[in-house]
């Protein structure tokens, strides 16, 4: 496509005249919208969730590591316009899609959010607009499904009338060291112009942008990254099971192996995988492979091993109680941390929920404490986070650490609890003994 659409991109991006719209204001979209607004772009944040939009317009952030004051200031100055009005898409020059890509009930990829986003964009698509997909999708989806859907419903042609690229988001919520701004961004367009303009846009908010040759390469890059993590977590979880059977401490083995300065990368075992990425993204890849008559066996195996970790830890807890002549049935358990990882308020796919379910099924009396999750709904049963006091710990039979939030007072817990089952190895790490 000649770069001659309505927008003079080479001027509009550096001069901040280009207007940006972010579709989906979640863990990915909201920090991105704020970053563009901070850099002087007028940014529409569009989300159908009216409650979220109301909160944002009241200056409140529902993402705990996002600077609330900065967000409030940008909303107030109208640099960031949070709205459920999809007609604003027509006013944007670049549209970045950050909607969910979960699994369906049958554990298959659920593309409905991405396709709905494409359907919202298509009738408003205009000449020269730049569309970038940030959601994690299967390799080939931008070219096979999204581009054709945009074309079909707009009558415009990708590469001729509008630009289209894929740039997977790598944000790690809660990570203070690597943020949106200093995590390199991979971008692959359907043609060189789409790649170049997307890269130019991201360069305004991100220190390093890595162009790749196609959207499929960009999609696969993200899936390699998360599959790498999922498989290594699966491996180290299996090592934990193996060491348990051998009667040795897996964490001591891992620490010793970690002293090798080359050829080893440290991963720690835990209660399983959680969040919207690690347990979900590899399934997008294995699903695609099935359609090509190939079984992604490493992914299947790691999924299986990671999924059995809640049961492994509940069995451990039951054995340790048995040793104290106590049964799990009717035992008073405090579950510490329920979000899927430390210091964030995201419950999605959290293995702590599976642990809670298993404990309840076995008749344990469970309370949980998580400063980030005041209330949780487990299949219609509502639980509220309790305050962790020395008296509560003394009254309980066991504390199980499912998520190692930094704010917990681990010394106090150790001094008061009758029994601790530590799925995260906190006591080993803090050198406070198991």
Ligand X SMILES: NC(=O)c1ccc[n+]([C@@H]2O[C@H](COP(=O)([O-])OP(=O)(O)OC[C@H]3O[C@@H](n4cnc5c(N)ncnc54)[C@H](O)[C@@H]3O)[C@@H](O)[C@H]2O)c1
What is the set of active-site residues? 277
Under DSSP, the state recorded for 261 is S
Choice from 34, 37, 92, 171 touching ligand X (CB under 6 A): 171
169 binds ligand X (CB under 6 A): yes
Q: Which is nearer to ligand X, 34 or 400 (CB)?
A: 34
131 binds ligand X (CB under 6 A): no
Alpha carbon distance 423, 434 (integer Å) = 11
Choice from 180, 205, 218, 277 touching ligand X (CB under 6 A): 277
- Contact, 253 vs 247, CB < 8 A? no
Backbone angles phi, psi at 404, to 5 degrees: -90, 65
19 DSSP β-pair partners: 42
How many residues make contact with ligand X (CB under 6 A)? 28
25 binds ligand X (CB under 6 A): yes
136 binds ligand X (CB under 6 A): yes
DSSP readout, 168-184?
-----TT-SSS-TTTS-
Choice from 9, 41, 44, 113 touching ligand X (CB under 6 A): 113
Alpha carbon distance 146, 140 (integer Å) = 9
Choice from 61, 79, 135, 237 touching ligand X (CB under 6 A): 135
Contacts made by residues 401-404, CB under 8 angstroms, sequence distance 24+: 401/336, 401/337, 401/426, 402/271, 402/335, 402/336, 402/337, 402/338, 402/350, 402/351, 402/352, 402/355, 403/336, 403/337, 403/338, 403/339, 403/340, 403/341, 403/342, 403/350, 403/352, 403/370, 404/337, 404/342
- Contact, 306 vs 250, CB < 8 A? no
Q: Which is nearer to ligand X, 206 or 277 (CB)?
A: 277
Alpha carbon distance 209, 20 (integer Å) = 18
Alpha carbon distance 411, 390 (integer Å) = 11
The stretch near ligand X (CB under 6 A) out of 109-117, 320-328, 333-341, 365-373 is: 109-117
**H-state helical runs in 81-162:** 112-121, 141, 147-154
161 binds ligand X (CB under 6 A): no
Choice from 32, 43, 47, 359 touching ligand X (CB under 6 A): 47
The token pair at 393 is: 């710990």
Binding flags for ligand X, 52-91, as an x/- string (CB under 6 A): x---------------------------------------
283 binds ligand X (CB under 6 A): no
Angle at 324 between CA 319 and CA 328, to 5 degrees: 50
Q: Which is nearer to ligand X, 120 or 399 (CB)?
A: 120
Q: How far is the CB of 49 from ligand X (least distance, A)?
A: 4
The stretch near ligand X (CB under 6 A) out of 44-52, 64-72, 312-320, 334-342 is: 44-52
Q: Which is nearer to ligand X, 231 or 331 (CB)?
A: 231
The stretch near ligand X (CB under 6 A) out of 9-17, 164-172, 177-185, 262-270 is: 164-172
Choice from 7, 12, 26, 80 touching ligand X (CB under 6 A): 26
Q: How far is the CB of 257 from ligand X (least distance, A)?
A: 28
Q: How far is the CB of 350 from ligand X (least distance, A)?
A: 13
- Contact, 294 vs 305, CB < 8 A? no
174 binds ligand X (CB under 6 A): no
User: Beta strand pairing status for 163-166 and 130-133?
Assistant: parallel
Residues 354-393 that bind ligand X (CB under 6 A): none
116 binds ligand X (CB under 6 A): yes
Q: Which is nearer to ligand X, 47 or 343 (CB)?
A: 47
Alpha carbon distance 44, 42 (integer Å) = 7
Report CA dihedral (182, 188, 193, 198) to the nearest 10 degrees.
-30
User: Nearest residue to ligand X, using CB?
Assistant: 26
Q: How far is the CB of 177 from ligand X (least distance, A)?
A: 15
29 binds ligand X (CB under 6 A): yes
Q: Which residues contact ligand X by CB under 6 A?
A: 23-29, 46-49, 52, 98-101, 113, 116-117, 120, 135-136, 169-171, 173, 276-277
């Amino acid at each position: 496509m000649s770069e001659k659409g309505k927008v003079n991109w080479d001027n509009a991006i550096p001069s901040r005249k280009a207007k940006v719209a972010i579709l989906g204001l979640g863990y990915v979209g909201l920090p991105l919208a704020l970053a563009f607004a901070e850099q002087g772009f007028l940014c529409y944040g569009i989300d159908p969730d009216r409650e979220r939009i109301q909160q944002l317009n009241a200056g409140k952030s529902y993402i705990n590591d996002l600077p609330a004051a900065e967000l409030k200031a940008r909303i107030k100055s109208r640099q960031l316009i949070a709205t459920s009005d999809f007609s604003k898409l027509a006013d944007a020059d670049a549209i970045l899609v950050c909607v969910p890509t979960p699994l369906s009930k049958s554990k298959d990829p659920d593309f409905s959010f991405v396709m709905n986003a494409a359907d919202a964009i298509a009738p408003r698509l205009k000449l020269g607009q730049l569309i970038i997909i940030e959601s994690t999708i299967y390799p080939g989806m931008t070219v096979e499904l999204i581009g054709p859907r945009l074309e079909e419903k707009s009558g415009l042609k990708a590469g001729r009338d509008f630009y289209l690229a894929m740039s997977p988001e790598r944000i790690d919520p809660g990570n203070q060291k690597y943020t949106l701004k200093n995590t390199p961004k991979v971008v692959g367009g359907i043609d060189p112009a789409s790649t170049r303009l997307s890269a130019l846009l991201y360069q305004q908010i991100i220190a390093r942008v890595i162009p790749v040759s196609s959207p499929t390469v960009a999609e696969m890059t993200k899936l390699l990254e998360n599959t790498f993590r999922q498989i290594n977590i699966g491996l180290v979880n299996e090592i934990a099971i193996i060491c348990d059977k051998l009667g040795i401490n897996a964490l001591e083995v891992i620490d010793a192996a970690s002293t090798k300065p080359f050829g080893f990368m440290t991963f720690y075992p835990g209660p399983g995988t959680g969040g919207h990425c690690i347990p979900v993204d590899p399934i997008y890849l294995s699903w695609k492979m099935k359609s090509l008559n190939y079984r992604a066996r490493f992914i299947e195996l790691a999924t299986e091993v990671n999924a059995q970790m809640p049961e492994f830890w509940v069995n451990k807890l039951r054995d340790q109680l048995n040793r104290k002549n106590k049964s799990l049935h009717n035992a008073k358990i405090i579950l510490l941390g329920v979000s899927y990882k430390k210091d964030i308020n995201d419950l999605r796919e959290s293995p702590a929920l599976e642990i809670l379910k298993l404990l309840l099924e076995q008749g344990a009396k469970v309370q949980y404490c998580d400063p980030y999750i005041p209330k949780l709904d487990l299949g219609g049963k509502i639980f509220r986070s309790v305050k962790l006091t020395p008296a509560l710990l003394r009254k309980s039979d066991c504390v199980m650490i499912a998520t190692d939030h930094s704010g917990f007072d681990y010394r106090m817990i150790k001094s008061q609890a009758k029994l601790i089952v530590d799925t995260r190895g906190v006591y080993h790490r803090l050198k406070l003994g198991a």
